Structure 1
Amino acid sequence: MASHDEVLSNSSNPNKPFCFNRANFKRWKKKMFFYLSTNKVAHVLTEAKTWRSELEPTRSVLKKQWKESDFWCQNFILNRLSNELYDFYSDSQDSKSLWEALQKKYDTEEAGSKKYVVSKYFRFYMVNERTVISHTHELQKLVHDILGEGMIIREQFQVAAVIDKLPPSWKDFRNSLLHKFKELSIVRLWIEEDNRNQDKKEENCSNVNEISIV
């Protein structure tokens, strides 16, 4: 059990998490729990109040220790919340109810955020009206958002997704890459698009010359 002196001696703990303000709850929760563990008060969040089954005077001693640990645990959590969240959650009955309320609120919100980002990624497709490079940059931003949510996307999956999302006019190029997608790169897409633009210019020029001859 953590004593008053032990907690004060750890007040400058370098593992103190960042101040939570509704963003990156999963990361904050892990850092916060580790911080509580280093201060020897995390047990009040996970263990039952076993002192209730003890006889006096042991029961009173263990109850006092538990309440002291719970007091420090609750205030450690509150003091790593933004001022707005501190005011909202400061009336929590104890550290466990505070911890569970935060998880219920922000674990659920982050799960919804992840679903939204993944949905955008899967619904994203390139169209002929825009350049492939601009599409690719937008797709990379979506990947960055997914990674920022703590999810992992392997490079081979990303490459396969880019090939699958190429616009209809790139059908032949897409088919040629399906069995050798490791060769795909942003540079190769840039070269392919540049070649296509050059072919269009030459075709247009040819059409103009034919009209002039006629």
Structure 2
Amino acid sequence: CRDYLLNYLSDRLAETYSKFKTAKEIWDNLDTQFRKEEELSTSHLVDKFLDFKFHEDMEITPQGTNLENMWSKMNNENSGVTDIFLVGAIIYKLPAAWHSFKTEMYRKKEQIGLDELKRYIRIEDENLARNNLELVK
């Protein structure tokens, strides 16, 4: 079983793990190594989430979907990120051209949910696109 595992590893990994005597030792060490890499990737995902910026020259709705996908991946990793945090982060990260929209969202007395925010953003995105189209004409 040990040789079987080593045979399926890349040459570099096989050389590294050939010092272990049993298949269980190889398996446990591989498991430990790659779990550490998964933890790093979650940290990297948090960095990407915090660094995310909306671009004014692109539609906001698809960009919001990208941010939501990052959040979903973090949430799958049991990071404890809540919908309230995500809604606040999305509003905060909207571009400067969306200042009045951001102000309107901050003034709401009741907390809005993610689906409601997405609906508001989609409507605002369509209105801005329509206004830009009318300006071009």
What TM-score, normalized by structure 1, do the two folds share? 0.48
AA partner of residue 196 (structure 1): L
Given that residues 53 and 94 in structure 2 are in contact (C-alpha distance below 8 angstroms), is that contact kept between their aligned partners in structure 1?
yes
Corresponding residue for 1:185? 117
Greater relative contact order, per chain length (Cα 8 Å cut-off, separation 6+) = 2
Given that residues 49 and 71 in structure 2 are in contact (C-alpha distance below 8 angstroms), is that contact kept between their aligned partners in structure 1?
yes
Query: Which runs of at least 4 in structure 1 moved beyond 6 Å after TM superposition?
Result: none
How far did 1:116 drift? 1.3
Between the aligned residues of both structures, percent identity stands at 24
AA partner of residue 158 (structure 1): L
User: What are the equivalent positions in structure 2 for 1:28-67 lying under 5 Å apart?
Assistant: none
Higher fraction of helix:
2
How far did 1:163 drift? 0.4
Instruction: Provide closer, same or farther for how the CA distance between residues 191 and 95 of structure 1 changes in structure 2, counting only shifts above 3 A.
Output: same
Instruction: Provide closer, same or farther for how the CA distance between residues 163 and 82 of structure 1 changes in structure 2, counting only shifts above 3 A.
Output: farther
Corresponding residue for 2:70? 142
User: What are the equivalent positions in structure 2 for 1:101-140 lying under 5 Å apart?
Assistant: 101-140=29-68
Out of 200, 206, 209, the position equivalent to 2:132 is: 200
Gaps of 5+ in 2: none
For the aligned residues, what is the CA RMSD? 3.0
Instruction: Provide closer, same or farther for how the CA distance between residues 107 and 92 of structure 1 changes in structure 2, counting only shifts above 3 A.
Output: same
Helix, strand or coil: the match of 1:178?
Answer: helix
Helix, strand or coil: the match of 1:115?
Answer: helix
Given that residues 164 and 174 in structure 1 are in contact (C-alpha distance below 8 angstroms), is that contact kept between their aligned partners in structure 2?
yes
C-alpha distance in 2, partners of 1:82/1:160?
A: 49
Gaps of 5+ in 1: 1-74, 206-214
AA partner of residue 93 (structure 2): K
How many equivalent residue pairs?
A: 126
Rg: which structure is higher?
Answer: 1
